[in-house]
A and B are shown apart, each in its own frame.
Chain A
C-alpha cells in the first residue's frame, strides 16, 4: 500500500526557516517524481514544487522560487522541502504528493497524498 507521511511543520516567525520531510513507502520511490502542494486555511490548492525521480530536475512555483529548496534521498525514501525567508502568506497545510505513473519524468498529476503538515508563519 502506497503511503506518504509528512512531518516538520510548526509555528515559525516571519523570516525564519523550516524543513519539511515526507517519508514514503509501498512503491519504488526513486521511480516517481514527487511534489509539494499547499493549502492555506479555508482556501484552495496551490502547487509549490516538484522533483524528478532521480533528483536531477527540480521545479518551483514563482511564489517560492529562491526561498524554498526541494530535495530527496532515494536511499531513505524521503522527500524534503527546505523553506527559508518564510512569510505570513506561506501559512498553509503542506501536502506531499506522488506523481501518477507516466512516460515523462514529471507528469504533475497526483495520485497519492499525505495527510499534510501545518506550517504557521506568525510573530
Chain B
C-alpha cells in the first residue's frame, strides 16, 4: 500500500496568512501514460463529511475558492491557502488514487491563532 505522510500535523495561523500543508507519498503517484498525478485534497470541518478541494494534484473542484491551490508532482505535494479565512478552520487530508487501495494522509488540523 502507498503510505501518505502529511506535515505538519497541526498548524495555527492568523487570519490573512498563507497556509502550506505538505503531503509525501511512499512512491510516485505520477502515471506516465497520461502524465497525471493521482493525488487529491479534502477539507473536513467539524461534524461534517470531507469535501473534495483538489484533484489531479492541482485541479480545483467546482465551487472551491481560488485561494486554495495544489502543486507538486511525483511524490511531493503541497496544498496552499493564500489568505486564511475563518471558515478555513478544518482538518485537511491528501489522498492518492494511483493504486489500490486508495490511501489517505493522517490529516493536518488548521486553526486560527
Contacts and interface: CB of A to CB of B under 8 A. Distances in A.
B103 A47 contact: yes
Interface in A80-119: 95, 100, 107-116
Contacts of B52: 100, 109-112
Interface of B: 38, 40, 42, 48-52, 55, 61, 93, 95, 97, 100-107
Interface of A: 44-47, 59, 61-62, 95, 100, 107-116
Given A44-B93, A45-B50, A108 B100 contact: yes
A52 to B, nearest CB: 13
Chain B binding surface, main DSSP class = loop
A100 B102 CA distance: 14
4 interchain residue pairs of minimum CB distance? A113-B49, A108-B97, A108-B102, A45-B104
Given A47-B103, A59-B100, A61-B101, A109 B55 contact: yes
Contacts of B51: 113
